[in-house]
Copies of this chain bind each other. A is one copy, B any other.
Amino acid sequence: MKKVKELLIGKSLKSTVGDSHLLTKLQALAMLSSDALSSIAYGPEQILLVLVAVGASASWYSVPIALIILVLLFALIGSYTQVIHAYPSGGGAYLVSTENLGTIPGLISGGSLLVDYMLTVAVSTASGADAITSALPELHQYNLQIAVGLALLLMLMNLRGLRESAAFLMIPVYTFILATVALLGVGIFRIFAGSLPYQAPAHIGTTVGGVSLILLLKAFSTGSSSLTGVEAISNAVPFFKQPKEKNAAKTLVMMGIILAVFFSGVIFFAYWLGLTPRADVTIIAQMAQKIFGDSVFGHAFFFIFQIATALILAVAANTGYSAFPMLAFNMAKKKYMPHLFTARGTRLSYSNGIISLAIGAVILLFIFDGQTDRLIPLYAIGVFTPFTLAQVGMVVHWRKKLGNKFLLHSIPNIIGALISFVVVMILLIFRVSEIWPFFVVLPLLIFCFIRIHNHYMNVAEQLRLRKETAEHKFDGNTVIVLVGNVTNVDIGAINYARSVGDYLIALHVSTKEDTEKEAEIERDFNETFPDIKLTVVHTSYRSIITPAVRFINLAAKQAKAHNYTTTVLIPTFIPSKPWQNIFHNQTGLRLRYYLNSHEDIILASYNYHLKK
């Protein structure tokens, strides 16, 4: 058991290990921009998917839509630069909303983000699977399995603890950046060289029948999924090298520029080459095929580009694995989520958060059959809800801090909040058929957060030391030993019981089925312990639990009446190897589970260790 665990996730670490790594700008860009940059693998495609529903000639509208998305991008970059300076200890929508807007908006942000990180993993792994199967069409039918496999692989890697490996993450991110630069560069070169003909089905500005404002708004709202992940840097300021805020802000701007260039490039070439979405090959894969061309050299470049895309998407999914456990930890510290999210595993990773995230992502992949385009609208609403709240929170923050002069500082936040809010509204009005699950899950989550909080408050109140619970002196101890087959184990258990107890009961519960066996047990017991009476209880249920519990409960009441304590001693044997426990029945465990709900009973187990 322990060995398997070590093999999969590595040996235990001391808690001081790994806290001292601080990130340079280039490292931080690799760690924190993968989510944003990788979204060019699916964002532009979403715009085209909506548009070509009315015909291929509508695809030119992607260009003006992209321009609006770029405006939104720059507003968000401006706005998150503010967040960096206001919350140098690591902002995050949950914190900013809670501090400035109150508990409920904070919980809305927190809940949205938790769901959103699951969607980050689901979308990125599904999209990674698309990238792989665009290059290897024979694997197309395994898209779902590949995505699930990626999600689980990342889970294992994170259980090992990934923080030490920023250097390792730099490779895929920079490979992707280089590969995309190469793609766009070669494309531009070939346009100027005249070898990449203009193939758009309709010029920009052509009137296309069936294109309505609603259609354009829909395309814009899902296309805005290209902007997911721009908040990552503002949450991670403490991990930067000094001067932290300045470095973080610079990194954010750097990332914004790269994203803007890549996004514009993909939109432009999709238009120039007249690409339309296909079920089996992604838009950027089609683009890479056309731009790199049909030579052996071109094929090689195409494959490298696809691998780089799949890898950065895996790294993007990984950001979910770093962000979810941290958020769950913060919410658990404030008692809105179960304590178990604060416990670190043996590798110092927040195992419970990592595992919960993986389960959530796999369920999402399974429900949506690993299809990126069906996950995207939910992803967008999950991102832009906390975006909006965080920006509004920032405005309140400036007002608190600067008083009347707050407006000037708030401009980027106000713009950010407005556009984010518009995206949320568009999604809400025009894509409600796809995003309704979000509005079922979110209130449910918030309800749970509040219930959990009340529970913890309640328990703390009940446990508080009170003077009236004073010292109590008992007159003696009753010990009940449970006997099954009479073995070596019972000898040790009875020896202990004699030492501790003043009154000893040996209890055997017999199912009526096997009277012969019962007689044998009685004979064995009387031979081995001639001075102790064996109490036999009969039952017509197949389980011995209920009658045992009933008897013990009565005995405990009697003992209490005589001011005696009651100890139930369960003799158990421990196999020489822990995994062998699965071979032996869990009656002891189940009995303990049921006895737990009865008062004034001490549960004890006597362990006999097998040697081989």
**Can you pick out 9 interface pairs between chain A and chain B where the beta carbons lie within 8 Å of each other?**
A338-B583, A340-B582, A462-B612, A471-B491, A474-B496, A500-B500, A567-B604, A574-B596, A604-B604
* Contact among B145, B369, B578 for A145, CB-based, below 8 A: B369
Q: Does A524 belong to the interface (CB within 8 Å)? A: yes
Which of A3-11, A72-80, A244-252, A343-351 contacts its partner? A343-351
The interface-forming segment of A189-197, A216-224, A376-384, A535-543 is A535-543
A575 close to B (CB within 8 Å): yes
- In the bound complex, how far is the Cα of B471 from the Cα of A492, in angstroms? 8
Contact present for B495 and A466 (CB under 8 Å): no
A333 CB to closest chain B CB, in angstroms?
Answer: 13
Which one of A58-66, A422-430, A450-458 is at the interface?
A450-458
Among A498, A569, A603, the most chain B Cβ lie within 10 Å of the Cβ of: A603
**Shortest distance from the beta carbon of A126 to any chain B beta carbon, whole Å:** 14
Is residue A514 within 8 Å, beta carbon to beta carbon, of the partner chain?
A: no
Supposing A463-B489, A500-B500, A606-B602 touch, asked if A339 and B495 sit within 8 A by C-beta, the answer is: no
Q: A348-B542, A488-B463 are in contact. Are A458 and B612 (CB under 8 A)?
A: yes
The answer to whether A583 and B145 have CB atoms under 8 Å apart is: no
Report Cα–Cα, A462/B574, bound state, in Å: 11
A103 within 8 A of B: no
Shortest A13–chain B CB gap in Å is 9
Contact A499 B487 (CB under 8 A): no
Residues of the B chain whose Cβ atoms lie less than 8 Å from the Cβ of A495: 471-474
CA distance A142 to B494 in the complex (A): 60
Given contacts A583-B455, A607-B599, A612-B458, contact A463 B487 (CB under 8 A): yes
A541 to B11, CA, bound (A): 13
Q: CB-CB < 8 A to A456: which residues of B?
A: 583
Contact B511 A488 (CB under 8 A): no
Binary flags per residue of A354-381, CB closer than 8 Å to B gives 1, else 0? 0000000000001101000000000000
A593-612 CB contact bits vs B (8 Å, 1 = yes)? Answer: 00011010111111111111
Closest B-chain residue to A1, C-beta based? B593
In this complex, which of A487, A528, A569 has the most chain B Cβ atoms within 10 angstroms of its Cβ? A487
Shortest CB-to-CB span from A485 to chain B, Å, is 8
Q: Is there contact, CB below 8 Å, between B469 and A499?
A: no
Within 8 Å CB of A597, what residues of B? 574, 578, 609
Which of chain B's residues have a CB closer than 8 A to the CB of A469? 488, 491-492
Q: Which 9 A-B pairs have the closest CB atoms?
A: A604-B604, A15-B542, A474-B499, A463-B487, A472-B495, A338-B583, A469-B491, A339-B585, A462-B610
What's the Cα separation between A316 and B488 when bound, in Å?
47
Task: Report how far A528 CA is from B464 CA in the complex, Å.
Answer: 12
Asked whether, in the complex, the Cβ of B565 is within 8 Å of the Cβ of A496, the reply is yes
Q: Is the CB–CB distance between A611 and B471 below 8 Å? A: no
Which of A462, A489, A567 lies at the interface centre, i.e. has the most chain B CB atoms within 10 A of its CB?
A462
